[in-house]
Chain A
Amino acid sequence: MLKVTDLSITLGSITALRGLNFAIRPGETLGIVGESGSGKSITALAIMGLLPKVMRASGRIELEGNDLLALDESALCRSRGRRMAMIFQEPMTALNPVMPIGAQIAEGLVLHGIMSRHEAAEEAIRLVGRVGLPDPAARAHSYPHELSGGQRQRAMIAMAIACRPALLIADEPTSALDVTVQAEILALLKEVREETGMAMLFISHDLAVISKLAENTLVLYGGAAMEMGETHALLAAPRHPYTRGLIAAIPSGNAHNTRLNPIRGHVPELAKLPPGCPFHGRCPLGDERCRIERPAPDIAETTAWCHHAGAHAPLAPLGVTS
C-alpha cells in the first residue's frame, strides 16, 4: 500500500536521511522511533510532500502504486488529505484559531469534492461525535481555544480521517498531552484504524507508546535505519545496540529502585557524521570498521543494520535491572 524505496533527503551538503526502505500494508501500523534529529519527522513530511523547500528528497515513495515524488504539486494536493492524512504533535497550534473546528473538519471534504458544503457540515458533526467529543453539534461550532488539549487532538483526528484516507501519518500525536489523555487518544487511533482499515505510520520518540499500537517498528538514528522488524520481536530480542539502549532507557512502571540507563553521549550533528554507522560513537561495540563502513542489513528475526548484529545476536534486552 505504502512502499518507500531508498528514500534519501538532503539539505544542501547535509544528508538528513539516507536510503530508507519500508512498506506498510492496509490496516497495518508501522511505528518509527527515534530521537529528535533522527529523521523521523522529515520522513513523514516527505511522504506528505511538505518538506521545506530547501530539502531535496530522492528515491521512491509509492502510495497505492503511484510514486509521490514524481507527482506534480496539483496532483499531490489531490492526494493530500484525501488518500493520506497527517496528525501533528502540537494540537494547541495546529488548528486555525479563528475557524470553528467543524468548519476545519468539513473543509477537506468540500475541497476534495467529496460532499456539498451542507453535507460536509453534517458529516463534520458526525465526526466530532465519532472521535468522542460530547455534544457534537455544539462542539462543531467551538473555536480551538475553547477546547482542552486532548479535545483538540480528537478534533485533529476527526479532520484527518474525514476523507477516509488510505494512509494516516501520526507525528508524535500524544507527546504534548497528559499521560491519561495519551492513553485515550491511542485507544481512539486504534479504533479508527480498525474501523477504516487504513494503514498508519506512527512516529514517536517513545518506544513504549509505539509498542501499544504498531505491529512493526523501525528504529531510526542519525538519518539512517538501525533496526526494523515485528514490534514484539524487536522488543523481546533487540539485535542492534541502539535498540537495546532505547529499551533500557524505558522506565519500568513497577520498579521504584531500578536505575534508568540512559545512552551515553549526545546525538551527533548530522553535518559531522562519518560515512559508517551514525551510532558508532556512542555504541558500546563501536569500532573502526563501524566508523568507516556502512553496515549491510543483517536479516534474522529482525533486520539490523549493524556489523555486530550477527556475531552477538540475539542480544538480551539489557539494563532494565542491574
Chain B
Amino acid sequence: MVRFLIKRLAAMGLTLFFAALVVFGVLEVLPGDPAATMLGLSATPDTIAALRLELGLDAPPLARFWGWVVGFFSGNLGISYTYRVAVGGLIAERMAVTLPLALMALALAASLGIALGALAAAKANTRIDALVMGLAQLGLAIPNFWFGILFVLLFSITLGWFPSGGFPGWREGLFPAIQALVLPAFALALPQSAVLARITRSSMLETLSEDYIRTARAKGLTRGQTLRRHALRNALVPVLTMLGLQFSYLVAGTIIVENVFALPGLGRLLVQAIGGHDLILIKSLVLFFVAAAVITNALVDIAYGFADPRLRVART
C-alpha cells in the first residue's frame, strides 16, 4: 500500500511538473515577446522595454521558469499586470468563491446522480427507469450555461427567489452567500448528475446480477437491504472514479458558469485575464486549474485503493 501511495504521488508530481512546463512554454516562450503581446497594438518600444524590465523578461527562460515554480510553493507569483495586485493573493481571494461552488456542485451532482441511477436500476425496465434515463439523456444535452440562464429566467426574474448574479461576499453572512451560489451550483451539477446517473445505473445492474446478491437475499435481506448493504458499495467503485474526474470537470465548468452569474471566482478571473492579455495571471491560473484536476485524480486513485480490499492486496 505504501509503495502504491508513493508511486502514485510521484506520478502526480511528474505530471504537474510537465504541465507547468507546457503552460509556461505555450504562454511565455512561444509567442515571442510576452511584453508586446500583453500591451497589444498601443505599445511603444519604451513601454515594452519598461514592461520587460518589470516582468524580468531579460533573464533566460529556464531561470524564469524556475522562479515561477518556486513561486508556486512560496505564494510569490508576481504582480498581476491588469489588477496591479499580487497574483497569489488574488487567487486565494477568488478561491473563496470557486471552491465552495465546485464542492456544492459536486455534492449535488453526486447525491442526485447516485440516487436517481440507483432508483433506475432498482426499477429497471419500468416506466420509472425510462423516465429517469430520458431525463438523464436530456441533462447530458443541455449545457451548464443554458441551465444557468434558464434558472435565472425562472427563479430570479419570474419568481424572485434567488439573486440573478453577483456575490455578496462571505462577510455579509452565510445565508446570502450560499443563496448566491445555489443556482450556479445546480447549473453546474445537473449535466454531471446525468452522467453519474447513467454510470450508477449500469454499474448497479451489473452488480445486482452477481451471485453474492442472491446469497444476501437467501440470508433473508429484503430487496432494499440487499441494495443498500451489498450492491451499493460494490457498484459505487466505478462511480467513485467518475466522481473524481467530475470534480475536475466541475472546476473547469466554473470558468463558464461563473461568467453566467457574474461570480467573482477563479473562472471569471481567468476569462477577464484572457481579455486583458494578462499573461502573468493566465499562466498561474491555468496551472492552478490543471493542478486541481491532477491532484483530485491522484486522490481518487488512492481512495480507490482503500475502497476495494482486492486492490489493496494486489498493490502491496
Contacts and interface: CB of A to CB of B under 8 A. Distances in A.
Interface of A: 48, 50, 73-74, 77-82, 85-86, 88, 90, 93-99, 107-108, 111-112, 143, 145-146, 156, 159-160, 163
Contact of B212 (A48, A74, A95, A143): A95
A51 to B, nearest CB: 11
A120 to B, nearest CB: 12
Contacts of A94: 211-212, 214-215
B234 A96 contact: yes
Given A80-B217, A81-B218, A96-B234, 7 more contacts: A73-B222, A81-B221, A86-B218, A90-B211, A98-B310, A107-B219, A143-B309
Contact of B219 (A80, A90, A97, A143): A80
27 contacts: A48-B217, A50-B218, A73-B223, A77-B220, A77-B221, A77-B222, A80-B217, A80-B220, A81-B219, A81-B220, A85-B218, A85-B219, A86-B218, A88-B215, A93-B212, A94-B214, A94-B215, A96-B234, A97-B310, A98-B308, A107-B216, A107-B219, A111-B219, A143-B309, A145-B310, A145-B313, A160-B218
A74 B222 contact: yes
B7 interface: no
Nearest to B231: A96
Contacts of A163: 220
Nearest to B229: A107
B94 interface: no
B233 interface: yes
B219 A96 contact: no
B122 to A, nearest CB: 13
B212 A97 contact: yes
A137 to B, nearest CB: 18
A50 B217 contact: yes
Nearest to B222: A77
**Residue with the highest number of chain B CB atoms closer than 10 Å, among A50, A74, A98:** A98
A48 B223 CA distance: 14
A77 B310 CA distance: 30
B8 interface: no
A275 B234 CA distance: 46
Nearest to A82: B220
Nearest to B310: A145
A149 to B, nearest CB: 14
Nearest to B220: A81
Contacts of A108: 219-220
B225 interface: yes
A81 B219 CA distance: 4
Interface string B133-151: 0000000000000000000
Interface string B191-233: 0000000000000000000111011111111110100011001
Nearest to B216: A96
A98 B234 contact: yes
Given A143-B309, A146-B313, A88 B221 contact: no
A97 B309 contact: yes
Contacts of B216: 96, 107
Nearest to A108: B219
Contacts of A146: 313
A160 B219 CA distance: 7
A109 to B, nearest CB: 10
Contact of B309 (A73, A79, A85, A98): A98
B220 A143 contact: no
Interface string B84-121: 00000000000000000000000000000000000000
A143 B310 CA distance: 8
A85 to B, nearest CB: 7
B173 to A, nearest CB: 43
B214 A111 contact: no
Nearest to A74: B222
Nearest to B218: A86
A81 B226 CA distance: 13
